[in-house]
Amino acid sequence: MYDNHALSVACENSEEVVVVFVFDKNILSRLKDSQDRRLTFIYESLKEMNQLLKQVNSRLIVLFGDPAQEIPSLASRLDVETVYVNEDYEGYALRRDKEVAERLSQKNISFFKFKDQVIFSPQEILKSDGKPYQVFTPYKKTWLLKLKPKHYEEFPVNLKKMIVIKAISSEPELKALKAYGFERSEILIPPGQTAGQKLLKSFLPKLKKYDKDRDIPSKHGTSKISVHLRFGTISIREAVRACRTQRNKGAETWLSELIWREFYFMILAQFPHVETKAFKLQYDKILWPGKVEHFKAWCEGKTGFPIVDAGMRQLNQTGFMHNRLRMIVASFLVKDLLLDWQWGEAYFAEKLLDFDLAANNGGWQWCASTGCDAQPYFRIFNPDSQAAKFDPENEFLKQWVPEAFEKSKKYPSPIVDHKVQRNKAIELFKKYQSQ
């Protein structure tokens, strides 16, 4: 509702603007858990948005169904001239938006898309030969060279243009969450744009130490804004504006992470095969020798490796996992349990509050060594040394796996031998490396 490109232009160009949200049945029908945390986050954020609109005598229209049907039919009912949306780079969203645009055009209604969730779209940062980058560092260099203050200016939203509530009285409004098939769940990261801005503000004093603290899970040294960036309750421009207020190593490192986010959007858009296949296609042929019961132990946080179990329990219980732990548990699934990275990717997609197809896929392919610019397959994390380095006082481990530190309590023995599995993983990757 604030700093939103499509909404800003809609308000500038129109006499009256109506804000619409569609609970997309195509997406919702694939979610297994009726208490999916993301639905609570979205729902609460919509409630806030509705309140803000009511303050200017308007309200949200909330549809439930297939957007390709719902949007054009609403546009006809309200006799609108133009539909404005923000770009989305996922395969499904691209197909959906194309269909919406076609149906609107049959009704002579214009449809405009705007770049909003990134500073630079996947086509804007290219190599000098016009091809997409496949390596992060030169991509980042070009990204930074191109960055000017105009790229992160706010897109203000003129709420005075919002349609009056009376004009849309027969259109559906926001119902209770259960009307969309879901129940409330507990979320630790407060939803909505006001809470998002507060969260970002509270992170700023920590920014200068981000480069040092970001890898220590017990320190809470990261921003936790990923879910807000995902759902647009913090704009990427605001995040960049915030970090441009400081010139230090911490701010530089944090900006670099925001650039990783755009790098993975670019990879997904330019190499769409990554959604279902390895970036390096030869690794799709791997026959993973791991055991299904090991996957179960990994999901449940019962592998007998405290750092892995701590990460998985944090994910299962809160919907969040610290980045260092995401790397450790992903590496462990692939290189210690010798299981298909796509199983892990799918599990994260189900559980993460901040799930984002591009970042999740990019993160998994990086850890599995199947991605572009990925961790080399022979560099394998040792879970115990990772724990000693990033949780030296066992603070995080004691919080999530207390029984590993109490002799009287039962904690499983390690389900595999790291040294043995490490060698097996190297042999496995070697075999497929040149195929």
Q: Which residues are catalytic?
A: 257, 260, 288, 323, 341, 364
Question: Residue 296, Cβ neighbours under 10 Å: how many?
Answer: 10
Which residues are paired to 86 by β-bridges?
114
Interface region with ligand FAD, contact rule CB under 6 A, candidates 9-17, 165-173, 255-263, 388-396:
255-263
Distance, C-alpha 212 to centroid of its chain: 23
Residue 191 engages ligand FAD in binding (rule: CB under 6 A): no
In the bound state, the residue with its beta carbon closest to ligand FAD is 363
Residue 234 engages ligand FAD in binding (rule: CB under 6 A): no
Query: Contacts with ligand FAD in 196-225 (CB under 6 A)?
Result: 214, 222-225
Residues 122, 343: Cα–Cα separation, whole Å: 27
String marking each residue 338-367 x if it binds ligand FAD according to CB under 6 A: ----------x---x-xxx--xx-xxx--x
**What is the dihedral angle through the alpha carbons of 382, 324, 344, 405, rounded to the nearest 10 degrees?**
60
Residue 330 engages ligand FAD in binding (rule: CB under 6 A): yes
> What burial letters (b/e) apply to 315-347, b meaning 16+ CB within 10 Å?
beeebbbbebbbbbbbbbbbbbbbbbbbbbbeb
Question: Nearest distance from residue 209's CB to ligand FAD, in Å?
Answer: 12
294, two tokens: 């090991």
Question: Nearest distance from residue 359's CB to ligand FAD, in Å?
Answer: 4
Question: Nearest distance from residue 177's CB to ligand FAD, in Å?
Answer: 23
Nearer to ligand FAD, 48 or 257 (CB): 257
Residues 281, 285: Cα–Cα separation, whole Å: 8
88, two tokens: 């989305």
Q: How far is CA 394 from CA 213, 216, 388, 404, in A?
A: 16, 11, 8, 10
Candidates 155, 182, 231, 264: give the one binding ligand FAD (CB under 6 A). Answer: 264
Question: Nearest distance from residue 221's CB to ligand FAD, in Å?
Answer: 8
**Backbone dihedral region of 79: left (phi > 0), alpha (psi from -120 to 50 degrees) or beta?**
left
Candidates 99, 252, 257, 373: give the one binding ligand FAD (CB under 6 A). Answer: 257
212, two tokens: 């040092």
Question: Nearest distance from residue 260's CB to ligand FAD, in Å?
Answer: 4
Give residues with Cβ within 8 angstroms of 295, minimum separation 6: 333, 337, 339, 343
Question: Nearest distance from residue 424's CB to ligand FAD, in Å?
Answer: 21
Nearer to ligand FAD, 103 or 230 (CB): 230
Nearer to ligand FAD, 17 or 325 (CB): 325
Residues 406, 402: Cα–Cα separation, whole Å: 7
Residue 368 engages ligand FAD in binding (rule: CB under 6 A): no
Residue 64 engages ligand FAD in binding (rule: CB under 6 A): no
Question: Nearest distance from residue 47's CB to ligand FAD, in Å?
Answer: 23
Residues in the chain, how many? 435
DSSP strands (E only) in 72-160:
82-86, 110-114
Do residues 125 and 142 lie in contact, with contact meaning Cβ atoms separated by under 8 Å? yes
Residues 60, 21: Cα–Cα separation, whole Å: 7
String marking each residue 283-322 x if it binds ligand FAD according to CB under 6 A: ----------------------------------------
Residues that bind ligand FAD (CB under 6 A): 214, 222-226, 229-230, 254, 257-258, 260-261, 264, 323, 326-327, 330, 348, 352, 354-356, 359-360, 362-364, 367
